Amino acid sequence: MAARESCLETELTTHSELPRMSLRRLWLFLALSLLVSWIIWLAPFERPASIYIVVFGKRFDSSFFFIKLLLGNCIPGMLAICFALSEGKHQFLQLLSTLVRWRVPLKWYLLAFVLPLGIFWVSLGVVSLYIPAPHLLPSLTRVILYAVLAFPLGPLWGELAWRAYALRKLQTRYSQLTSSVMLGLYWAVWLIPLWLTTRGASSTRVQELAAAITTILAWSIICTSLYNRSGQSLPVVILLEAVQVASADEIFARVQDGRLLFIWLSAALTVLIAAGLARRMVNDSSLGHVRPSG
């Protein structure tokens, strides 16, 4: 009887240590992702040359600068796959299982498409009313095209890292909201070199960076909510990120005057939506809902 109790105590201790071991690997993964991506993005490699491929008789050119930015974006996803493989077949299959969970109610895909598009359209509308300048209308066709082209590149690899790997591990130890905030803060820091590299110099750079960090933190909460409520469907969150990037680029390019106002308006709308979802997360936690499994 004593031997059985000792065995049970050892087993319980072993299981209690699993989340801690998993989180130690997560901290290492996040540190490596930050280090490698930053090295790539900040590397003094500015050759004006490009490479190209020919598909069905059409030539597609890519500059070395674009390839550098894309590679830095994809590194965390590649590292997430390597870390999952090193943790065993079960962990690797768990990571991949989120990628094939595409058979979810249509409402989640509609929400992933409409939400970011609506935020930026409303912000553009307010700017147009407040600053009556000639603003060009964005093209929904271009947003869809850019989202489709971006889908298998940055958003796919990014979400493999942030939601399928990092968030899943964080939620084994912390609540949904705490996990979202932790990941959002890291995500914002990770993106700073990319943002500085692509935005260039401006008199409002500090304000724009503050708005970008606030927005990324809010999007982290939105992504967590959509990911968990869709049954941990990675395709839904990949679509959300792809449309968010595509619509932000397309609509922001149409703002002729009041760009800083547009940035802060879209940030404020995103924060309002994230705050509502955060409150729902807290309510779910107080009702004793089970934390998503890792």
Average pLDDT over residues 67-84: 93
pLDDT exceeds 80 at position 240: yes
- pTM of structure: 0.86
Model confidence over 141-153: pLDDT tens digits? 888 888 888 888 8
Share of the chain above pLDDT 70, in %: 81
Model confidence over 88-118: pLDDT tens digits? 999 999 999 999 999 999 999 999 999 999 9
Count Cβ atoms within 10 A of the Cβ of residue 126 and give its class: 0-12 exposed, 13-18 middle, 19 or more buried. Answer: middle
Question: Which has more pLDDT, 292 or 133?
Answer: 133
Q: What values do phi and psi take at 164, rounded to 5?
A: -65, -30
**pLDDT for the residue numbered 13:** 38
Neighbours of 79 (CB within 10 A): 21
pLDDT exceeds 80 at position 136: no
Q: Are 144 and 265 in contact (CB under 8 A)?
A: no
pLDDT exceeds 70 at position 177: yes
For the chain, give the mean pLDDT: 84
Q: How many residues does the chain have?
A: 294
**pLDDT for the residue numbered 15:** 39
**pLDDT for the residue numbered 21:** 73
**pLDDT for the residue numbered 202:** 67
**pLDDT for the residue numbered 61:** 56
**Confidence grade of residue 179 (pLDDT, cut at 50, 70, 90):** very high
Instruction: Give the whole-angstrom CA distance, residue 30 versus residue 33.
Output: 5
**pLDDT for the residue numbered 58:** 58
